[in-house]
Amino acid sequence: MPNLHHHLPRRPVLLATLVSVAALFAALALGHPGPAGATKAGHATKAGPRAHAASRYFTGLGDQKVQMFTDPNWLQLHTKIARYIVPYDAVAHSYSLDKAKIWIKAAEAAHVQVLIAFYHSEYTPTKLPSVALYRHYVQKFVKLFPKVRQYQSWNEANRGNIRGVLASPSASAAARYYQALIRVCKGCTAIGLDVLDANKIGPTLRYISEFKREVGKIRTVMPRIWGLHNYSDINRMQSWRTRELVRALGGQTWLSETGGIVKFGGAFPNRFGSGLRRASKVLNYMFNVAAANSRIKRLYIYDWTGGNTTTRFDAGLTDNHHIPRPGYVTVCKRLHGAKCNVSRISSH
């Protein structure tokens, strides 16, 4: 691999753009939603999973834009956890590092507990780092931000390679990145594996199994907390994928990305109403799914800021002008009931 300190492209590839493009490719895996409330066996369960009084979980947001922390609508939610995706080699590039510094500083000023998920480089997204290089950069990042004590070694590790766009680690490599992270961040909370569900979860289950076997081979401590992105499940108004994957992961699960998709290429057509209305219904269902599973302890709704007309992936609680959408109202009311006050709702 070239020396990334000196071999810089003329323009960095924006992480948000790469995530959006990757999401478009993932639409093929997510497929089209089935009937609302359908279970794995195809039997209708209109009410969905029921919340029970013993359920306890924290709700937060994931977003790449710092403006969220000063938005009065975000302040009204009183959420105290947030997630940010950062390139594993951010310390090598001032562009990536400056963005991370600004975001983390704003989060800490707002007294928000930060969860950092490492991801591919913004400069060489199709090349995976060696374990040594990954450890080198991650160790430097951890030292720069001593107040950040929660990390994920790789965002959506099982996504798979997207030719010309990004590379994803094998289960074996993901286990070694996890091992490197816990060695350089002693005393941190390291979420063991961050996986995407997809329509057919067989490959995800195999990835989890392979990761666990590799952790055993390299004699690393088995994770006690796991990350899951259950977009495919809840945007079908289903919960069986989430249940099976939480069971396979074992231990405590954080829904490190979840939410109601407003627009995602052709993967989720407006079968349950318009994109905004459907996303609002999904967000309400999301809370029920989380409350019904005692192993789910956190959920990070992705994301705060919606896209524009050309955006292929959009799950924002607000539009691109920061006006609350119906989904925001659903979240606010689920968190605070009648105390939620929204003066204007976006139709875009």
Determine the pLDDT at residue 56.
Answer: 82
Rounded to whole angstroms, the maximal C-alpha distance in the chain is: 58
CATH code of 98's domain: 3.20.20.80
| CA atoms of 121 and 206, how far apart (whole Å) | 26
Please tell me the predicted confidence (pLDDT) of residue 33: 40
Which tokens sit at 214? 């590799």
> Residue 93 domain-assigned?
yes
For residue 227, list its beta bridge partners.
194, 254
> pTM for the whole thing?
0.86
8 A C-beta contact, residue 155 and residue 117: yes
Name the phi and psi angles at 118, rounded to 5: -75, 150
pLDDT digits (tens, 9 = 90+) for 112-127: 999 999 999 999 999 9
Q: Is the pLDDT of residue 24 over 90?
A: no
pLDDT at 270: 58
Within 10 angstroms of residue 28's Cβ, the number of other Cβ atoms is 12
- pLDDT at residue 312, as a whole number: 82
Confidence of residue 9 (pLDDT cuts 50, 70, 90): very low
Per-residue model confidence as pLDDT tens digits over 65-75? 999 999 999 99
Tell me, yes or no, whether 55 lies in a domain.
yes
Whether 344 is in a domain gets the answer no
When pLDDT is averaged across residues 203-217 and rounded to a whole number, the result is 98
Residue 17 lies in a domain: no
Average pLDDT of span 261-277? 72
Q: For residue 213, tell me if it sits in a domain.
A: yes
Name the residue range of residue 29's domain: 22-34+43-339
* Residue among 251, 180, 250 nearest 220 (CA): 180
Considering only CA atoms, which of 329, 261, 336, 255 is closest in space to residue 292? Answer: 255
Kindly state whether residue 303 falls inside one of the protein's structural domains: yes
Please check whether residue 15 lies inside any domain of the structure.
no
What is the per-residue pLDDT across 285-338, written as a single tens digit (0 to 9) for each? Answer: 999 999 999 999 999 999 999 987 777 889 999 999 999 999 999 999 999 998
> Is there a domain that residue 345 lies in?
no
Distance CA 140, CA 137 (A): 5
Mean pLDDT of 81-96: 97
Number of domains the chain contains:
1
pLDDT of 309: 72
* 32-81 pLDDT per residue, tens: 444 334 444 433 344 445 543 334 899 999 999 999 999 999 999 999 99
The CA–CA distances, whole Å, from 289 to 49, 118, 239 equal 6, 27, 7
**Which pair of tokens denotes residue 9?**
């492209």
